[in-house]
Amino acid sequence: MIHSPTSPAAPPDGALTHARKILVLGLPLVGSHLAQFAIGMVDTIMLGWYDVAALAGQTLGMMLFFVLFIVGSGFAWAVMPMVAAAAASGEERQVRRVTRMALWISLVFAACAVPVFLAARPILTAIGQGAEVVAPAADYLAIQGWSIVPALAVMVLKSYLAALERTQIVLWVTLAAVPLNALINWLLIFGNLGAPEMGIAGAAWASVAVNLFSAVVLIAYAIRATPEHALFQRFWKPDVEAAGRVFRLGWPIGITNLAEVGLFAASSVMMGWLGTVPLAAHGIAITIASATFMLHLGLSNAATIRAGNAMGRRDGPGLRLGAAVVTAMSAAVALATVVLFVALPEPLVGLFLDPADPHRDAVLVIGVGLMAAAALFQVADAAQVMALGLLRGVQDTRRPMLIAAVSYWGVGMPVSYVLGFPLGWGGVGVWLGLAVGLAVAAVWLNLRFWRGSAYAVEANGSVG
């Protein structure tokens, strides 16, 4: 609610009120991210039960897909703080302008990415992957690559609706996609009920279908539930000024995403150098670690929206208190996941493997070691994504991009390589290097927010 200059201001929120509002906003986003993750996890589980080589191929292929997808998602993520700030300050026209242009930019990016996926075979071969993994990965990307078009549109619409605090629809659409994906996988991977047995290609077709379904539903909802924004009325009309603002805020987010995801993608490449079994174990461990990361990502999204609202109101004290509350909530979740990873690594990894698979024991041994390493970076990973969410909320994206690039690639990547190969620690060494890079980013980004950005909003209304 926006108060007029003459109306009495509402009393400031206390810590418990901030926590309640964060949970109301964040829990559906956490659920949505977990549901989105479940879609990928179902692919991993079903392909792991189908064939370890198919699982390794999907791990490698999805790595390339996700690198480009996450870069393109930067423009969608820019929508969240821009819409949150515009809505808090009563600028409804800006809501429409930035969302529409984010859709434009995302679709252009997707059109440029598809040819890369179609040419994946020589790209994957050039980075040193074996032919037994490259072949299924290339087959997977030839189909999966097309899904980036609806997938990026879905990302923009989810950010738009979440910033308007319409998080329930974001949750329900993603939840509906989970059983749809599982059903199509069950039919097409294994050839059930007379469907063709397509293996890894079946998983790719399922992803295409699910992303199209999600895009259609969200477009229909946006047209019906937010007619005041008229997102698709004269959609073809360009808005250069709004597109420029989305691009300027979004491209650093995309590069920041690339720096982090690229770090994990490079770890997949290095695990591929160790062989198919280590790569399969890495795929399982990274899937489990990603599940807990979704909790922090949802809270980070809530932090972005709440910080964007505070920026629109120029409420510096509320911004700082809310940031402290959401950071404490994320830290508590991180400590709980550390205990889980240390206490139950073998049962967690074993969920992804067929008991009759001849490679099961070898994958389990490597996977248990990787889970111990993953436990070490849980706190650092939570801290860095929370700081990024807060900085994006106050539209501070360029300096965090540089911080991420230096932390992940100037520190994390060299440490991963040295520990994994010259020192001979193998996959565990690669993962410990990831932890170091994330820890450096966590400290640096939090210093950036708490020593500068958190106070600049109150003084200037923005971050310079």
8 A C-beta contact, residue 71 and residue 255: yes
Cα radius of gyration (the chain)? 22
**pLDDT attached to residue 7:** 39
Structural domain boundaries of the chain?
A: 15-459
**pLDDT attached to residue 8:** 44
**pLDDT attached to residue 52:** 77
**pLDDT attached to residue 188:** 93
**pLDDT attached to residue 4:** 38
Rounded distance, CA 37 to CA 298, Å?
12
pLDDT in tens, the chain (464 residues): 334 344 345 566 678 888 888 888 888 988 988 888 788 778 878 888 888 778 888 878 887 888 899 899 999 999 999 999 888 877 888 888 999 999 999 999 999 999 999 988 888 888 777 777 888 888 899 999 999 999 999 999 999 999 998 989 999 999 999 999 999 999 999 999 988 888 888 999 999 999 999 999 999 999 998 888 888 887 888 889 999 999 999 999 999 988 887 787 788 788 888 887 888 888 888 888 888 888 999 999 999 999 988 888 888 888 889 999 999 999 999 999 999 998 888 888 888 777 777 778 888 888 888 888 888 878 888 999 999 999 999 999 999 999 999 999 999 999 999 998 999 888 888 889 988 999 999 999 999 998 876 666 555 555 54
pLDDT in tens, 336-394: 999 999 888 888 888 877 777 777 888 888 888 888 888 887 888 899 999 999 999 99
Instruction: Select from 400, 439, 442 the least CA-distant residue to 81.
Output: 400
Distance of CA 200 to the CA centre of its chain: 23
**pLDDT attached to residue 1:** 35
**pLDDT attached to residue 456:** 62
User: What are the φ/ψ torsions at residue 308 (nearest 5 degrees)?
Assistant: -65, -40
How much is the pTM? 0.81
8 A C-beta contact, residue 261 and residue 114: no
Instruction: Select from 418, 325, 437 the least CA-distant residue to 376.
Output: 437
**pLDDT attached to residue 34:** 85
Q: Alpha helices, DSSP H only, in 275-377? A: 276-313, 316-343, 345-350, 360-376
The DSSP result for 206-224, as a single string, is HHHHHHHHHHHHHHHHHHH
**pLDDT attached to residue 392:** 92
Instruction: Quote the tokens at residue 107.
Output: 């679709």
